[in-house]
Structure 1
């Protein structure tokens, strides 16, 4: 069961929009891999501080981790929606006139550097300066919203329409919505008692690959991901936090996490040989930095939902069993450097090694 309209059910016009959206999303992926991971690494270097690499165990589903906040880590929350958000969603998603990306609003917020000229076209995704504009706004608290420009009647044009976007849907309602869809409750999260309701909220965090005590930005991300399931279009949520040191991406495909990982020279040789790539090509196209004798690459874990986190085939109510896993690792890859054109992700199973 899907919550969005699959490609085969779309009109030809909307299929073209879906294709365009996915191309733009690929571009956004590349920009954010650099901003979230490589730029953060360089922030640490510039302060002569050791980079806190993510341990493999932190990528396992349901791992409990004590988050440490790192000031040098780039943080952000981005909502990228395939269509325009209808106005009736303003009750829970705060995108008002006051936080539109207009010159007056941005100047009032003191977000725009004084020496930076404002070009109203730079907020459109097809602008050559779009990512420069986004980089100015990314450090702003709360979320950025990218959506189809409601004013583009004849073509599909995407715009960074709002900043300072807040997600005001309560966590308990998001968890309740998920539990109803998965048939663990019929209507109300408290219908089987307080303990059952607490367990459902814990499983809600597990569903999206977060520890229960995850910080506000990551919690806002998973609440937004659940909220936008009520729309028949695709939404992609990107979140980077100072505790996780990762780029988390939530989409119709599920959840993925990208981190920086160290590899020895021997490991590099083995990976290159097993993928029929020369050592020099691997170093050129996959290694993003050096740490003493180690090579640093971008590693991505892709997660899938277990049967317990999918609606039951018979549609009947079922009992929640908190001990059962809701997530499993589906894929593990070493990613090419951002903007590398001809080299693909390389399979590399290491989380459980």
Structure 2
């Protein structure tokens, strides 16, 4: 488990502040790429953007699995520390997929190849996000981690085409043992019980158990990286969910989506928040036409008692009817160009 602030040195606490600051920057860039850039791709192609149904944000919601080619999908792992070499058994980061010029020459559509230098891969360089943007469409995951060659807290995009090979049943077993629903192994209480635990594993991370591809890779990576003593953040953008999910190994879970707001909803939200309609539109709508506006919506989730380790440490029986996540906050986020504006609460999922 990641060490708390009280358990780390002063130098490490300083590093954690830097990590959280960079995480905020990465949030904004990836929201832009996953959601807003996808919206413009649909509009430019004169196709209707597939807005989510609010019920899809409820725990256990099953989503109609249709892939949208115009939607930007990706998977990124951002680590506070440097992954130890033993992690290569399940998180595939090797010399062959290290972000160096020799490996990048095989990417046909990589435009920065001729101008690429290792310096570009550092988070604090002006060309970093341009590099990241070109690598995002590549299959599998990108890995951003602390540079182990220096004592300073510098982060770099170290590997591309990173595969996650930890089996789902191993990840589900790991979580179930942590939560004390089993003592030794996944199938100790029978196949049916094991199947239910695997389904609850997906629910714990905010997905339906039918989810596949990048989403499965994201949650198995999140569970595996929990064993390290530093924080990691996993970002997964899904073309079937039309969402960006952010998972941190210290227990936070958020989903970002574009919300279609009718003229009546816009008027009501502005009134409830005691602001002029024009003010709300200018600060919170990323797109507007005569019929509707588009807002950026964040849902945060929390884990109730049944999906937290029991206080007494004793084994307990699984009740599949109990929810393993619940909706916590529902927020409309302001446009990025207004960093001084706060999000506003918009409780709409269960309306």
Report the TM-score, using the length of structure 1 for normalisation.
0.96
**Alignment partner, residue 185 of structure 2:** 188
Q: By how many angstroms is 1:121 displaced?
A: 1.4
Q: Give 3-state SS (helix, strand or coil) of 1:108's partner.
A: coil
- Distance (whole Å) between structure 1 residues aligned to residue 123 and residue 245 of structure 2: 21
- Distance (whole Å) between structure 1 residues aligned to residue 261 and residue 229 of structure 2: 42
Where structure 2 has 5 or more consecutive residues not aligned to the other structure, the ranges are none
Indicate which of 231, 235, 240 corresponds to 1:238. Answer: 235
Q: Give 3-state SS (helix, strand or coil) of 1:206's partner.
A: helix
Q: Which moved more, 1:161-170 or 1:43-52?
A: 43-52
- Distance (whole Å) between structure 2 residues aligned to residue 219 and residue 43 of structure 1: 26
Q: By how many angstroms is 1:116 displaced?
A: 5.9
**Alignment partner, residue 166 of structure 1:** 163
Where structure 1 has 5 or more consecutive residues not aligned to the other structure, the ranges are none
Change (3 A) 1:322 1:115: closer
After superposition, the C-alpha distances for 1:5-54 in whole angstroms (9 at most, x for unaligned) are 11122211000000000000000000011111010111111221111100
**Alignment partner, residue 301 of structure 1:** 299
After superposition, the C-alpha distances for 1:201-244 in whole angstroms (9 at most, x for unaligned) are 00000101111111210000000000000001111000001100
Q: Give 3-state SS (helix, strand or coil) of 2:226's partner.
A: helix
Aligned length: 350
Q: Does 1:4 align with 2:2?
A: yes
Q: Give 3-state SS (helix, strand or coil) of 1:78's partner.
A: strand
Indicate which of 148, 171, 179 corresponds to 1:150. Answer: 148
Q: Does 1:209 align with 2:180?
A: no
Tell me, yes or no, if the aligned pair for 1:272 and 1:282 is still in contact at 8 Å: yes
Q: By how many angstroms is 1:267 displaced?
A: 2.5
Q: Give 3-state SS (helix, strand or coil) of 1:214's partner.
A: coil
Report the TM-score, using the length of structure 2 for normalisation.
0.97
**Alignment partner, residue 128 of structure 1:** 126
- Distance (whole Å) between structure 2 residues aligned to residue 250 and residue 115 of structure 1: 31
- Distance (whole Å) between structure 1 residues aligned to residue 115 and residue 44 of structure 2: 27
Q: By how many angstroms is 1:58 displaced?
A: 0.2
Tell me, yes or no, if the aligned pair for 1:182 and 1:312 is still in contact at 8 Å: yes
**Alignment partner, residue 317 of structure 1:** 315
Tell me, yes or no, if the aligned pair for 2:101 and 2:113 is still in contact at 8 Å: no
Tell me, yes or no, if the aligned pair for 1:111 and 1:137 is still in contact at 8 Å: no
After superposition, the C-alpha distances for 1:144-201 in whole angstroms (9 at most, x for unaligned) are 0000011122x11000000000001001000000000000000100101111111110
Q: Which moved more, 1:173-182 or 1:8-17?
A: 8-17
